[in-house]
Amino acid sequence: MPVAPDAPTEPRLPRLQQGDPAATTNPVDGADGVDGTRGTARPGGGTRTGVADGRGTGGRAEARRAARRKRIPERPESLRRLIPQALVVAFLAGGTSAFVANDKAIELSVDGRPRTLHTFADDVSELLADEGVKVGAHDMVAPAPGTALASGDEVAVRYGRPVHLTIDGERRRVWTTAHTVDGALGQLGVRAEGARLSASRSRRIGLEGLALDVRTERAVTIMADGRARTIRTNAASVAEAVREAGITLHGQDMTSVPGGSFPRDGQTVTVLRVTGTREVREERIPFEVRRADDASLFEGVEVVENPGRYGAWRLTYRLRTVNGVKQRPRLERSEVVRRPQDRLVRVGTKPHPPSRGGADHLNWKGLAACESGGRPGAVDPSGTYGGLYQFDTRTWHTLGGTGRPQDAPAAEQTRRAKKLYMRRGTTPWPHCGPRLHG
């Protein structure tokens, strides 16, 4: 067991006796004793001191006491100089510790390009601002912008890219942070197994984006010639799907849905076998009747100045048979072949002269000459009108006549003509009636 060394002992000094020159010599004013107390003057001019060093006034002990007296007044000034220096050193030491503590080593990856940097930023937003990294609504930042940072953290920024995406004919604009077509499909949740893409899956997507057409695989049933065929296809149109099913359309054949439409999954398309011809028909266009007042004709007299003429349409109809069933004719085209001409009728407005009783005073010979050339048995070319005054059979019978008017005697025809005049005036003879008053 080690033994502690002995404590050092002070050297013994010889005690000064009364009358010794060293004891009687007056010390310098203000000298201290060995124990650190100032000496005390005694009567007779002597001073009591502590332990003497055994030397006279010119000895080494006196020199040491003199040196000590010089150092003692200088201590307060030295402390005043050392305290500010110590504070500065302490502050610098603390600041350096804080500086080192706030510095963080962060791995920042911007759009797939990583780098390690040192930062004093407190959170992700401050880091991005310090590094001049700008992000938009379609960009991705992980962790979130307000997340606090610690040394060793990883921060990733991925820029959004616009994709003009068409899926099975439906167009939309979407955003992705993926760098390849394959990554974009996965990120957007597009079912691409068996799909036909307009761009390679490995194609990179720049910040400007790209247009991508995706046609998924669909099951389509084609009904043709009494048979159903179900195929799986990426076709962009019904016509293309029909061809893939091995079905050929001839002539006027068509499908139940437009051939250019996009085939949907589970859709059934029927092929219609069509045969047909065209038929051209002509139909009459009726004319209009225009009536004009004529002051030269007596009231009740109407004269047909222009009989008018029917017009004609030329109509083209399509006659079809679909899958063996005749369809209703469908009008394809119409054109006017001949325009109708209006019938013009002049209507008399001249008042009749005062009646002289009956109709005997009228010019019946003039009327007969105009209507039939004065021949009692005359018949018009159509066979409808006959006699001196060109009666039709129905009117003749209403006047009491029998048989045909052209077979009756001339006197009977004149008598019944007068009777007709009394009922209807000159209306039955629109062209020759004015002769009665001539």
CATH class, domain 218-272, is alpha beta
CATH of domain 277-345: 2.20.230.10
Q: Please give the angle made by the CA atoms of 363, 367 and 371, to the nearest 5 degrees.
A: 170
Q: What is the pLDDT of residue 23?
A: 34
Please, which pLDDT band fits residue 289 given cuts at 50, 70 and 90?
Answer: very high
> 117 - beta bridge partners?
106
Query: In angstroms, what is the C-alpha Rg of the chain?
Result: 69
Q: What is the pLDDT of residue 89?
A: 52
Q: What is the pLDDT of residue 55?
A: 38
Q: Among 149-153, 251-255, 394-398, 434-438, where is mean pLDDT lowest? A: 434-438
Supply the DSSP string of 38-57, one letter for each residue: BPEE-TTS-EE-SS--S--T
**Domain ranges within the chain, ordered by starting residue:** 62-98, 104-158, 161-215, 218-272, 277-345, 355-437
Q: How far apart are the first and last CA of the chain?
A: 182
CATH topology of domain 104-158: Ubiquitin-like (UB roll) (3.10.20)
Q: Is the pLDDT confidence value at 1 over 50?
A: no
The residue that leads in pLDDT, 82 or 259, is 259
Q: What is the pLDDT of residue 406?
A: 94
Beta-strand (E) ranges in 160-237?
161-167, 170-176, 196-197, 210-215, 218-224, 227-233
Predicted TM-score (pTM) of the model is: 0.41
The residue that leads in pLDDT, 368 or 37, is 368
Rounded to the nearest integer, the mean pLDDT of the chain is: 81
The pairing of strands 196-197 and 268-272 is unpaired
Q: What is the pLDDT of residue 438?
A: 73
Question: How far apart (Å, rounded) are the C-alpha atoms in residues 203 and 184?
Answer: 10
Q: Under a CB-based contact definition with an 8 Å cutoff, are residues 368 and 321 in contact?
A: no
CA separation, residue 176 to residues 140, 187, 280 (Å): 9, 7, 62
Q: Is the pLDDT confidence value at 345 over 90?
A: yes
Please, which pLDDT band fits residue 80 given cuts at 50, 70 and 90?
Answer: low
What CATH architecture does domain 161-215 belong to? Roll (3.10)
Q: Do domains 161-215 and 355-437 have the same CATH topology?
A: no
What CATH architecture does domain 355-437 belong to? Orthogonal Bundle (1.10)
